[in-house]
Amino acid sequence: MSEAPGTRRPVGRLRGWGGVSAMAAACAVTAAAVLLPLAHAAPDGGHPTVVREPASVAAAPEVPWTLTDTCQDPEASLRPSGVDGPTIERIRKAGKLVAGVDQNSFKWGYRNPVDGRLDGFDIALVKAIAKDILGDENAVIYRAIPTSQRVPALQDGRVDVVVRTMTINCERLEDVAFSTAYFEAGQQVLAPKGSPITGYDASLKGRRICTAAGSTAEAALKGQSYGSVPVSVPNQLDCLVRLQLGEVDGIITDNALAAGQAAQDPSVRLVGSPFTKEFYGVAMNKGASDLVRRVNKVLENYRAGGDNSPWMQAYVTHLKPVLPGVAGPPAPKYRDG
């Protein structure tokens, strides 16, 4: 039975993975003991230091102009190199790679309920980077950061890298640098089963639609709302909790993230088709060209080996159960200069 736009579902509807709101609370408690807060000083413990220097998608409504990249080949990054530079030397001197991550995105960056440790596809990539630079995959300081703080954390020198399902686009390239793409995704709508919402279209009219602040989903909704009522929150998990509480009617997010959310709560599902084509990259300070080249070298090795590659092994372990059918990583693009 369809609900009216203003109808709120009962609070007692919490389901999936033991109740995601309960999981969120547990994550917050665990994080206090394991992750350093974002407001911590610089990676070396001093004052904040700015370091200088799917293959195709189905037909969908036209992407708003606000999401259209105007720079040429935004996914093209610096060519890989293993040569050490000032950023690499600083990380080695500190003895730790400081990584900005998520701890609430199921299968990407989340607290494993079995042992409480950070786990997921993005976490596996962080470990590969630390292994290459420091010789130890565990030589990492993880800092949980909300979506809206990914760029400021890099600009202020609070983290060395951000590995947090971050889409490469022209607007962000004005503020940070990116590696080559390591995953392809697209924006899509997540709604309760039985909802009259059919996708990113006129069925959103009058509905409360949740996005994470600073995300490409938020930009999409600002560009074309279809008469919906936008609701912005700090993190994607907040959207799922609000959906479960009946405070919003749908979510727009990357389909790769949404697949994990749907796995957490079987009462929700992806609807419509992806209406963008986006690529995740490792974000770094704009001046850290040596680190960008080094991460691209790590990614070259990470992709190599076909079905036996570290990339595919991480995909099978973390994502295949919730996001099947991915044949492999996107091919890298490079630029000179």
pLDDT in tens, 28-74: 333 333 344 433 333 333 333 233 333 333 333 434 434 445 588 99
Residue 41: burial class (beta carbons within 10 Å; 0-12, 13-18, 19+)? middle
- Cβ atoms of 264 and 106 within 8 Å: the answer is yes
Instruction: Note the pTM of the prediction, 2 decimals.
Output: 0.77
Alpha helices in the chain (DSSP H): 20-34, 86-94, 121-134, 150-155, 170-173, 216-223, 236-244, 255-264, 289-303, 310-314
Written as six digits, the tokens of 41 are 């000083």
Residue 283's beta-bridge partner residues? 162, 178
- Cβ atoms of 186 and 275 within 8 Å: the answer is yes
- Residue 139: what pLDDT? 98
Written as six digits, the tokens of 250 are 């749908």
Per-residue pLDDT, averaged over 228-250, amounts to: 92
The answer on pLDDT for 236 being more than 60 is yes
Cβ-Cβ contacts under 8 Å for 271 (sequence gap 6 or more): 188, 189, 190, 191, 195, 197, 198, 199
Q: Number of C-alpha atoms within 13 angstroms, CB side, residue 71?
A: 13
The answer on pLDDT for 305 being more than 90 is yes
- 3-state SS, residue 55: coil
The answer on pLDDT for 142 being more than 70 is yes
The torsion angles phi and psi of 236, rounded to 5 degrees, stand at: -60, -40
Rounded-to-integer distance, Cα 201 and Cα 271, Å: 11
- Residue 70: what pLDDT? 57
- Cβ atoms of 175 and 155 within 8 Å: the answer is yes
- Residue 18: what pLDDT? 39
Report CA-CA distances (Å) from 316 to 118, 120, 250, 262, 311. 17, 11, 29, 18, 9
Name the residue with higher pLDDT: 259 or 226: 226
Written as six digits, the tokens of 54 are 């799917």
- Residue 69: what pLDDT? 53
Residue at token pair 């008469």: 227
Q: What is the helix, strand, coil percentage profile of the chain, to 5?
A: 35, 20, 45
Cβ-Cβ contacts under 8 Å for 53 (sequence gap 6 or more): 85, 86, 87, 287, 288, 289, 290
- Cβ atoms of 146 and 234 within 8 Å: the answer is yes
